[in-house]
Structure 1
Amino acid sequence: MQQAIQFIRSNLSASYSTLELQSVSRLLISKVSGYSFTEIIVNKNTTFSEEQRKILRNYVEKLKSGLPIQYVLGETEFCGLNFMVNDAVLIPRPETEELVQWMLEEIEHDSLVLDIGTGSGCIAIALKHFLPGADVYACDIDEDSLGVAANNAENLGLKISFFQCDILKTEKSDRKYHVIVSNPPYIPCSERKDVMSRVKDFEPERALFVKDSDPLIFYRKIAQFAQLNLFPGGNLFFEVHRDFGKACVQLLEDMSYAEVQLKKDIFGNERMVKAVKK
């Protein structure tokens, strides 16, 4: 196993920082060996078989191309749960875990919840896992994304109602909800040059970028949808671009939402918004 770790480091040191490389190495060794991180330490002198070395070489070659490790391995962890991911969906981020945690602190355990732009299903599935009494619905414009999300829910034994929807062209739902949440596209196209290559070159653009001329388009449309489809007193949650938090708050206040809150993430960025329908 020590040889395998050295092989990873020698091939990927130019692609990752020291801390990133340590994490990548642990993930690769764990995937190939089947060991937990603790078991890797205990079994550090284990020798890989030829088949395991072949698998490892294949992973490393893909990583050298810039492909995110989550796509290489086909999985990632979110809120302590294992999710399948591929290039049809965004890779779940730690900031979104914070949004889920905030929601768990705020909403009733038997809520009707809608996740708009569900992607891998991470928000909807995490909510259903921790709030088994909730009735959770999730939609996305992309059929392939919905397939990934549905598989993730099935693998975790959770019942969620998924459906296809273009929220920019949708006004009315056939039901009302207590909670609507979304982590929509919010990066202006002008910032594309500043986004890491392994993000902008591999993750789905439609889930990342919006036109510079209207960066809040999804927030406005979802807030309009929520006005019609939230119960009075219902909660609307957003993840937002760190530079547009205050603008999102102003948008919601101008639309007569109450108790609008802007919350910072662990890095001190204004990344989460909550509002209440009057």
Structure 2
Amino acid sequence: MVYKEFIELTKARLSHLYPNEEGRAIAVRLLEHFCGINSYMPLVEPFGAIAPEYLLRLESALQQLAAARPLQYVIGYQEFCGLKIVVREGVLIPRPETEELVLAASQYLIDSAKQYATVNILDAACGSGCIAAALSAKFPNASLFACDISSDALEVTSENLKPSSQHQIFKYDLLKTPQEQAPDLLTEKFVSMQGQFDLIVSNPPYVTESEQKMMRPNVTEYEPHLALFVPDYNPLLFYKALASLAESHLKPSGAIFMEINEQFGRQTAELFNDDYFAEIETIKDLFGKDRIVKAIKKC
């Protein structure tokens, strides 16, 4: 089989899930991953032969993809902010919108002249740890703290952000009080660090249950609902918890950046009390939709 044939085969096998152009892009990603070729090879050498030893793995990948398993779970990673982030079932696949969140938070540190400082950064509801890993790569002097309620997420985070004396990964339920957290030394240390964080970044669950019916099966059937959905009757429950956490754990002039549901930009921003926060701002994404809320703790 040659590259061109495999691309056409992939488009046909996945046509019930993906349009042609997306099917083609998936085929190229598979060839890159399993055959070790560069992405331009199928274009410049469409009749290049695929070595027989790769065909079984490519066929297995196509079977999984045809059953709506996400490409990122099939190949085991997702590109994010220039990094290869390990992903598998049990963790949310990083999205481009979250790259925008990282860029906005990074710009805050640069504008605050903290890019070379020893700062404390919290990735709350860390999932795969993609935010913490990206910020660690950008700011090597920073101490990263990453927390999640999911043991699966914490395990994957530990592969993307290696735990060390500088970085700490721990279980924490944003919807519980400090007194209600499961006993753990790292959790207890975090609880005690009130007023010690320069930056909190979070991409918490924010998709309402009623929005689920508009999503693709590769998301709803495979990605963890715990990391995606919130009840229609209380869509901002995680942001209420984050506002409280920011009040208690940010330093004066510290900032919180959160990815949000585009429907609730104003309502999310209003959770941040003017008594505690200044520069409360809703930031739009590349498509002009409300996507990030930023707030800076008053001095």
TM-score range, shorter chain: over 0.9
Q: Residue 76 of structure 1 is aligned with which of 70, 75, 78?
A: 78
Deviation at 1:235, TM superposition (A): 0.3
The residue that corresponds to 1:118 in the other structure is: 126
Q: State yes or no: 1:195 paired with 2:211.
A: no
Q: What is the match of residue 164 of structure 1?
A: 171
* Secondary structure at 1:180 match in 2: strand
Which of 167, 176, 192 is 1:174 aligned to?
192
**Separation (CA, whole Å) in 2 of partners of 1:153 and 1:136:** 9
Closer, same or farther: CA 83–158 of 1 in aligned 2, 3 Å? farther
Find out whether 1:274 has 2:274 as its counterpart.
no
Amino acid in structure 2 at the alignment position of 1:133: N
Q: Tell me, which stretches of 5 or more residues in structure 2 are unaligned?
A: 179-189
1:229 maps to which of 235, 238, 249: 249
Cα separation, 1, equivalents of 2:217 and 2:208: 16
| Deviation for aligned residue 1:225 | 1.4
Find the aligned partners of 2:214 and 2:31 in 1 and give their Cα distance: 31
Q: Is the 8 A contact 1:153 1:159 kept in 2?
A: no
Aligned residues: 277
Q: CA distance change for structure 1 residues 99 and 158 in 2, over 3 Å: closer, same or farther? A: farther
* Whole-Å separation in 2 of the counterparts to 1:80 and 1:236: 23
Q: Secondary structure at the match of 1:20?
A: helix
Show CA shifts across 1:199-237 (max 9, x none).
111100000011112111110011101111111111011
How much does 1:255 deviate?
6.2
Question: What's the secondary structure of 2:263's corresponding residue?
Answer: coil
Q: What residue number does 2:161 align with?
A: 153
Question: In 2, distance between residues paired with 1:255 and 1:121?
Answer: 32
Cα offset for 1:82? 0.3
Closer, same or farther: CA 239–104 of 1 in aligned 2, 3 Å = same
TM-score with structure 2 setting the length: 0.88
In structure 2, C-alpha distance between the alignment counterparts of 1:16 and 1:220, rounded to whole Å: 37
CA distance in 1, matches of 2:25, 2:285: 22
1:140 and 2:148 matched: yes
Distance in 2 (CA, whole Å) between partners of 1:233 and 1:266 is: 27
Greater Cα shift, 98-107 or 8-17: 8-17
AA aligned to 2:56 is K
**Partner-residue secondary structure (3-state), 2:191:** coil
CA displacement 1:93-127 (0-9 Å, x = unmatched)? 00000010111111122221001010110001100
